[in-house]
């Protein structure tokens, strides 16, 4: 996908404030409101922008414990099966299949340590899961969104 300088600037501005008006965005990048709308619509159509959303603070919402969980599954477990098994847990906010000895890595938010432990148990009890290995997040250092790739 071809993103020119204006697209990149618009994405950067929207990353910081997704509720900015088209007129304001236009003033910042040197376009009219209607031109900005056209470009933003196009970025959505082409899939670069998948949604306008809010960034939430897990701690402020009562999620005090965060951790990464590696999933070890029986041989030839499909990604779809893993997805199905973990998607039922709202505590799982991120999941990917990975290379290496684990089959998948999950990121989990829990209200407290007991809650984390309980979720871990329930995930470990899924038929497709042979065992898990988890690490707790001690302190978040950085949290960014993907930036447009500079060419």
For its own copies, the binding residues (CB under 8 A) are 1, 3, 11, 14-19, 46-58, 60-63, 66, 68, 79, 82-83, 86-87, 90, 92-100, 102, 104-105, 109, 111, 135-149
Question: How far is the CA of 3 from the CAs of 25, 62, 149, in angstroms?
Answer: 17, 39, 9
Choose among DNA, its own copies, none what residue 94 binds, the Cβ cut-off being 5 to 8 Å by kind.
Answer: its own copies
Residue 10-49 contact track with DNA, rule CB under 7 A, x = bound:
-----------xxxx-x---xxxxxx-xxx----------
Beta-carbon contacts of residue 126 (< 8 Å; ≥ 6 apart)? 85, 86
| Angle ∠(89,94,98) on CA atoms, nearest 5 | 115
Question: How far is the CA of 28 from the CAs of 7, 9, 13, 20, 46, in angstroms?
Answer: 12, 9, 9, 11, 23
**Shortest Å distance, C-beta 60 to DNA:** 16
Looking at residues 63 to 122 of the shown chain, list those that interact with DNA (rule: CB under 7 A): none
**Shortest Å distance, C-beta 151 to its own copies:** 8
| CB nearer to DNA: pick between 41 and 94 | 41
**Shortest Å distance, C-beta 33 to DNA:** 4
Choose among DNA, its own copies, none what residue 113 binds, the Cβ cut-off being 5 to 8 Å by kind.
Answer: none
Q: How far apart are CA 109 and CA 40, in angstroms?
A: 32
Q: How far apart are the first and last CA of the chain?
A: 11
Residues that bind DNA (CB under 7 A): 6, 21-24, 26, 30-35, 37-39
């Amino acid at each position: 996908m071809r993103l020119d300088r204006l697209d990149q600037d618009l994405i950067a501005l929207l990353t910081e404030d997704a509720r900015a008006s088209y007129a304001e965005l236009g003033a910042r990048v040197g376009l009219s409101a209607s031109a900005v709308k056209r470009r933003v619509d196009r970025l959505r159509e082409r899939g670069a922008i998948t949604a306008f959303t809010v960034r939430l603070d897990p701690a402020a919402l009562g999620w005090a414990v965060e951790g990464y969980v590696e999933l070890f599954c029986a041989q030839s477990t499909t990604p779809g099966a893993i997805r199905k098994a973990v998607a039922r847990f709202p505590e799982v906010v991120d999941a990917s299949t990975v290379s290496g000895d684990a089959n998948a890595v999950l990121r989990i938010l829990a209200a407290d340590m007991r809650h984390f432990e309980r979720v871990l148990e329930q995930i470990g009890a899924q038929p497709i899961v042979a065992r898990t290995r988890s690490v707790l997040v001690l302190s978040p250092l950085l949290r960014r969104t993907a930036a447009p790739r500079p060419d």
